[in-house]
Structure 1
Amino acid sequence: MITRRSLLIGMCFVFIAGAALAQRGYRWRMSAPHTERNGVPDWEVNPNFPGDLFTFVRIKYDSYGGRGGGGGWATDYRDSDLNFSLRLQQLTSLKVNPEPIVLELTDDQLFDYPFIYIIEPGSLVFSQAEVAALRRYCLNGGFLMVDDFWGDSQYENMRRELKRVFPDRDPVEVPLSHEIFHNVYDLKEKPQVPSINAARRAMGGDAGSYEWASDGSDTRTPHYRAIHDDEGRIMVFICHNTDLGDGWEREGENQWYFEEFSVKKAYPMGINIVTYAMTH
């Protein structure tokens, strides 16, 4: 059974002005020396409560496009996971593990962690063992976030694989009025984060996306869909036509991208998602 223990006790949040966050974050990220943490600062963990931490868990899957050999699961790794863990530690009262981890769905340790993350699932094919493990994980209180895939065909692949996991449930579009868009940061729109190379800056200063889908389908509209349990709790949160992970990974590479997409969209949405996962 998934447990959250004292992670939820006293869970409150600290708000920092976007401009100040952008300036400080960009400076430390660009000037820090390159280490095995790629310049991301470390922090101490209370030795008396080593298990009472939020740990960012990335899921490794073996199949990609049905060919085997992996591939997409490691996109944005490891900077994305390190940066997001740091921002959770800085901007919330959660006690966060400075070392994110990678697990397979069939790993026995999976049930020690209430939140897991899958990236680039556009060609993912679950094994039957992964299907059974993910179903058991979610129905026992776990939360899966799916991120970074574009266009109709990639979504259809993910929908088909999730249908194998939950034959009796379908993803539904989550309305902007849902608490997941407002529980910490009050988002006025469903955020779309392009990869850094597809970010567009119009002459008027507006930020947009040049992302495209290989099947030619429309990628202009971000979709946030969910699969719910019998009590209406979100078990699977699907971020489609957006790439929150690149907003986390690339925060130190370009000041404009960091301010427009990391600060305004990727981190607020990510923090809202984790907050929902840890309180439901």
Structure 2
Amino acid sequence: MTAAEPRIAAGVDVGTECVKAIVAAEDGKVLGRAVLPTRGYFQACVYEALAAALDDAQRREDELAGIGATGFGSECVPGATATATEASCHALGAFQHERRAMTLVNIGGRDPHVIAVDGAGRRTGARGARRCAVGIGSFLMFTARHLDVSPTRLQELASAAGGRQARVSSYCSVFSASEVLERLREGATREEIALGCMHSIAERIVEIGGFDGPIAICGGVVEYFPGVLAALEAQSGLSVHAVPDAIFTGAFGASLKVFDPGIES
């Protein structure tokens, strides 16, 4: 890296389902990215994801100005120079793309959140769904297992439902999972159940409320299951769009925190 080039940093978002890592420049340009399943020792996953992101960026770790950490396992990021909340990192990462105040819906492996973001990319408020023993990621994994498909095929099934959904409760992921079994017993198709699960997640988000101004959505669930976005639009009557690289929004924001740790965290 020459003196004329902007500084670079890494951001790592350690979630319950995936570890996301990004290498970004101070001007906001993303240079490399990687996502890996969260498994075994979190630190080993972090090392692997960070190495993959650096390889994708064709950079070395000693070139980094620092490493930002966020997520459920943020304390498992060795050498982190900045640590911040998930809400503030998602707000900053989304703002880098949107450049405006917005309502940001984050749907990751745990409970969804609705985040108010101001015109400077700061989180001004955050509201979460009612607490549940099982997160959305685990609910989708459970559903996929009982529909006998890989999780990545749930979206394919939902798209083939022809708009017909089998009702699945939004009250709790544990109850929702048991209802998947009930719908199967009643003869609902896999496609109808998959679509019903998308609407179950959307209903839980609508119940949170707090939507104001443009609405953007980020997180791994919308990255892999865009049917949730369509279901959210249908249930809320509002226009919603996905942030680019939706699964990396938190990691992107964490990388930017390195350059300005004074930003609300």
- Structure 1 and Structure 2 fold alike (TM over 0.5): no
More strand by share: 2
Which TM-score applies when normalising by structure 1?
Answer: 0.28
Higher helix share: 2
